[in-house]
């Protein structure tokens, strides 16, 4: 089955801890994206990557980091510098200027 | 900076009715516009993609139109069903990324 796999589905973070969200795709897409969704707000772009070993900051990159070492993988690390990390995180991929596909999301909660 | 507005924010209609969801955007320099649906607690499912050179795109009971010059798109749903209940999001693509509105939460009453 082709698609985008996000893991874990639920994640709990203690104060001051870094956590990493996984995103893997087998669609052979060049572009990958991370979005954050909060209740009552639209999706906001955190980071995106158009090609391996290159990525750009989105609108709300502070407190987050990413890597793109393989075409299939685009992990997102939520660092301790992110003061309000509780949210629903969505990963997407696409071929440039074509249909984008999303994973099922990871719900991160600070405990 | 692209801004996307979706009206209404919420809509409830009886089953079987036809309905229209509206999307407006401020920057007309887009490559395409995509409509998605999102069920509670789930990811986004792509419904339709309209390229900037197109005026309309259809898939089953769904029809999306795009007027790039005026910054507007509409999603028409024919003969609505309870399974259509979800949040609908539009997202124009420009500058290598999608920009999202806050969506329209649709409830179909059986």
Task: Specify whether the CB–CB gap between A95 and A30 falls below 8 A.
Answer: yes
Residue B108: pLDDT band by 50, 70, 90 thresholds?
very high
Interchain proximity A42–B4, CB inside 8 Å: yes
Residue pLDDT, tens place only, B17-75: 999 999 999 999 999 999 999 999 999 999 999 999 999 999 999 999 999 999 999 99
B69 touches chain A (CB under 8 A): no
**Number of cross-chain residue pairs from A and B with Cβ atoms under 8 Å apart:** 58
Residue A1: pLDDT band by 50, 70, 90 thresholds?
low
Q: How far is CA B12 from CA A26, A63, A64, B86, B87, in A?
A: 38, 39, 38, 11, 12
Beta bridge partners of B101: none
Interchain proximity A102–B4, CB inside 8 Å: no
Question: Which member of B43, B93, B102 has the closest CB to residue A104?
Answer: B43
Task: Specify whether the CB–CB gap between B101 and B7 falls below 8 A.
Answer: no
Structure token digits, residue B69? 């010059």
Percent of chain A residues past pLDDT 70, beyond the cut: 98
Residue A98: pLDDT band by 50, 70, 90 thresholds?
confident
Task: Specify whether the CB–CB gap between B49 and B34 falls below 8 A.
Answer: yes
| Predicted local distance difference test score (pLDDT) of residue A41 | 83
When pLDDT is averaged across residues A63-87 and rounded to a whole number, the result is 95
Task: Specify whether the CB–CB gap between B109 and B14 falls below 8 A.
Answer: yes
When pLDDT is averaged across residues A104-109 and rounded to a whole number, the result is 96
Span of A20-29, A69-78, B57-66, B92-101 with lowest mean pLDDT: B92-101
Residue pLDDT, tens place only, A21-35: 999 999 999 999 999
Residue pLDDT, tens place only, A4-13: 999 999 999 8
Max distance between CA atoms of chain B, in angstroms, equals 42
Predicted confidence (pLDDT) at residue A104 exceeds the cutoff of 80: yes
- The distance of B60 to chain A (nearest Cα, Å) reads 18
């Amino acid at each position: 089955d082709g698609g985008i796999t996000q893991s874990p589905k639920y994640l709990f973070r203690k104060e001051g801890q870094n956590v990493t969200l996984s995103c893997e795709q087998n669609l052979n897409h060049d572009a990958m994206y991370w979005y954050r969704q909060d209740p009552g707000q639209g999706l906001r772009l955190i980071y995106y990557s158009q090609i391996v070993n290159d990525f750009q900051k989105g609108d709300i990159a502070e407190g987050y980091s990413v890597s793109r070492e393989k075409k299939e993988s685009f992990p997102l690390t939520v660092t301790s510098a992110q003061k309000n990390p509780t949210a629903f995180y969505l990963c997407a991929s696409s071929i440039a200027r074509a249909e984008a596909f999303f994973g099922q999301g990871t719900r991160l909660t600070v405990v | 900076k692209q801004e996307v507005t979706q009206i209404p924010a919420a809509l409830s209609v009886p089953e079987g009715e036809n309905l229209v969801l509206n999307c407006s955007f401020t920057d007309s320099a887009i490559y395409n516009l995509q409509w998605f649906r999102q069920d509670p607690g789930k990811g986004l499912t792509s419904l339709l993609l309209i390229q900037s050179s197109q005026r309309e795109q259809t898939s089953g009971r769904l029809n999306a139109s795009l007027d790039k010059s005026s910054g507007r798109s509409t999603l028409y749903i024919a003969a609505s069903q309870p399974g259509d209940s979800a949040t609908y999001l539009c997202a124009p693509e420009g500058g290598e990324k999608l920009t999202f509105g806050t969506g329209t939460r649709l409830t179909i009453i059986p």
